[in-house]
Amino acid sequence: MGPWLSPDELEFVRRKVPMVYVDVVPVRTDERGEVESIGLLLGAQDEGISRFLVSGRVLFHETIREAISRHIEKDLGPMSLPQLPQTVVPFTVAEYFPTPGAEMFDERHHAVSLCYIVPVLGECDPAADTLDVNWFSPGELRTPELQAEMMPSHARILRQVLAYLGLL
Amino acid sequence: MGPWLSPDELEFVRRKVPMVYVDVVPVRTDERGEVESIGLLLGAQDEGISRFLVSGRVLFHETIREAISRHIEKDLGPMSLPQLPQTVVPFTVAEYFPTPGAEMFDERHHAVSLCYIVPVLGECDPAADTLDVNWFSPGELRTPELQAEMMPSHARILRQVLAYLGLL
Amino acid sequence: MGPWLSPDELEFVRRKVPMVYVDVVPVRTDERGEVESIGLLLGAQDEGISRFLVSGRVLFHETIREAISRHIEKDLGPMSLPQLPQTVVPFTVAEYFPTPGAEMFDERHHAVSLCYIVPVLGECDPAADTLDVNWFSPGELRTPELQAEMMPSHARILRQVLAYLGLL
Amino acid sequence: MGPWLSPDELEFVRRKVPMVYVDVVPVRTDERGEVESIGLLLGAQDEGISRFLVSGRVLFHETIREAISRHIEKDLGPMSLPQLPQTVVPFTVAEYFPTPGAEMFDERHHAVSLCYIVPVLGECDPAADTLDVNWFSPGELRTPELQAEMMPSHARILRQVLAYLGLL
């Protein structure tokens, strides 16, 4: 029995326990380490097209590092050259709840998501189910207009990133 | 359908996805905030008597704060007066695996545990299924003898606490 | 020779090396540790009346903890009952420069300030040279109007606090 | 008037205020970001030969990032290709005091040092006043023998690094 879950099993589990997630903020930095731009995925969701972070489940028997690495490769392609963090202590923790009206809403499940900032040095290509990967400067990311194009919960994490990096 | 799981359901879920846990290190501080002692639970486990941290699952629909609070009350009693952290960013993250030989081994499941330091101001009483709560100074906690009385994975978290607090 | 500096000596040192500072954000929390309000000082400065954080120098031979404690007592009075942090790892670091146009401007000096969030349990009284201590909810603190009443550099730290606490 | 201080001025300042320092731990990582080795400088000091971290002052008008970058280049040469952190929040803060018997002793001054972990991708060469740069595995770094070859205060920071990285 491996980490794979049938759709029925996943549906069952999602109504029983919180899921472990990672949310990854891909960044490009200058030679001093200062963040120059942040990458957002563009994709079609139920509510239309929106922008979001690299995000996904931690599988049974998978380490957090492996999950970060797998989701970056899935969403940004195999040539993105991510520089994974030396520690798995997240810069913030996001709690998603399936309760309508929750500050961090996710209709699919209750998820506890560990959030990481990951510099990428290579080329990023959108995966099959995303339309594009776009890079935005801190100035653009601070605008309500761009934040309105994001899933509200991811916009909130983005504001935390900007604040954490001293860019808000 | 609430957060409650039957033993069979819990067993099923534990073989399918990582569990979300919290590990809490109860501390007593002096008036400057410096940690003077750390509380360890004493209890009977399969392998005999050992010492361990306050620890437990985050339930479906439960916030991390609620889980920390509930487990402290369960393990230290209702009069411990915990001072919960202002942020849910953990000081470290522990990854337990059910694989024999894993550095952080837990035969029951794969768990991702968010670890917190929580000062308690009140009286701590052992719960029904623990034998005692004992408080140790940093000097005592640094000894291999005391660490050998702990579950190895919890001894590792303890060393991280001591280092984080500048006490190692 | 003690930590005391004559005005001339302080002036000399301030043009030679960065000063070590602490910025403290006093908070009131609910029983779960969630921040309900943040305290800001109201005082007269060169540019008129504005709001600011508890802030000040770390003296020669003084520990960071002692400096935090001393500045809280100086600015909030002896009955504020601060709960000092268990670790001196700051939630952020602010770099003030005397260069006009600097993002974090302080005409007096170059200062490297370690920033801490400190819950207070007691009564806070304004010190002699401040007019008042006022408490604001996260909702109020998020408004541009209130932030405009603050020193710009302290408003920036405040946004970082709100983001760090998941309140932005 | 620039950041430069004459020896007399530096001596004067050092008896008046705490100095702002950075301590940098250079690391090599595997492709998952896990630390495989840590670099220590070998050099002659008053008490004989010992091992130490990359370390130095933050100058007047210099940012923390610039200081980290300058000290790495000074101690590891121009080809070390450091990957500077995205945030200047340190993983720990070290407080050095000139008081004999202090836990973190530095006869020269009272220093508040912000400590960073910095991955290096390139070649590291010892600078003129160091004898060598040596790389050690976590297993070697945990031994009391190697720690005894280090300045005691730097050995303490090293233990904090190992704990922070989950390697202790």
In a domain, D1, yes or no: no
Q: Partners for B (CB, 8 Å, 3+ pairs)? A: A, C, D
In a domain, B64, yes or no: yes
Q: Does A115 touch chain B (CB under 8 A)?
A: no
Q: How many Å is the Cα radius of gyration of chain D? A: 16
Total structural domains within chain A: 1
CB of A91 within 8 A of CB of A164?
yes
Contact A163 C166 (CB under 8 A): no
* For residues B54-67, average pLDDT: 96
CA distance C103 to C95: 9
Only one residue has tokens 């007593």, namely: B28
In a domain, A112, yes or no: yes
Q: What is the DSSP letter of A51?
A: E
Two structure tokens written together for A109: 């499940």
Q: What range defines the domain where residue C16 resides?
A: 7-164
In a domain, A1, yes or no: no
Contact D90 C89 (CB under 8 A): yes
In a domain, D2, yes or no: no
Which pLDDT belongs to residue D2? 57
What residue ranges of chain A have pLDDT lower than 50? Answer: 1
**Residue range D11-53, pLDDT digits in tens:** 999 999 999 999 999 999 998 999 999 999 999 877 789 999 9
CA distance A162 to D87: 10
3-class DSSP state of D98:
coil
- Percent of chain B clearing pLDDT 70 (strictly above): 98
Residue C71 is part of a domain; what is its CATH number? Answer: 3.90.79.10
**Residue range D114-129, pLDDT digits in tens:** 999 999 999 999 887 8
Two structure tokens written together for C110: 């170059």
pTM, full prediction = 0.94
In a domain, B2, yes or no: no
Smallest CA–CA separation between C87 and chain B, in Å? 5
- Percent of chain B clearing pLDDT 90 (strictly above): 84
**Residue range B116-143, pLDDT digits in tens:** 999 999 999 988 788 899 999 999 999 9
Contact D86 A166 (CB under 8 A): no
What residue ranges of chain C have pLDDT lower than 70? Answer: 1-3
**Which phi and psi angles does C20 have, rounded to 5°?**
-90, 125
Which pLDDT belongs to residue D55? 95
CB nearest D159 (choices: B92, B156, B163): B163
Contact residues, chain A, for C92 at CB < 8 Å: 164, 166
Q: Which residues pair with B104 in a beta bridge?
A: none
Q: Over 90: is that where the pLDDT of B48 sits?
A: no
Reported confidence tier of residue B2, pLDDT bands at 50, 70, 90: low
Q: Does A124 touch chain D (CB under 8 A)?
A: no
* Separation in Å, CA C138 to CA A5, A28, A168: 41, 31, 16
Please count the CA atoms within 13 angstroms of the CA of D15 that sit on its side-chain side.
8
In a domain, C85, yes or no: yes
Reported ipTM: the value is 0.93
CA distance C27 to C121: 9
Which chain B residue has its CA at the smallest distance from A14's CA?
B60
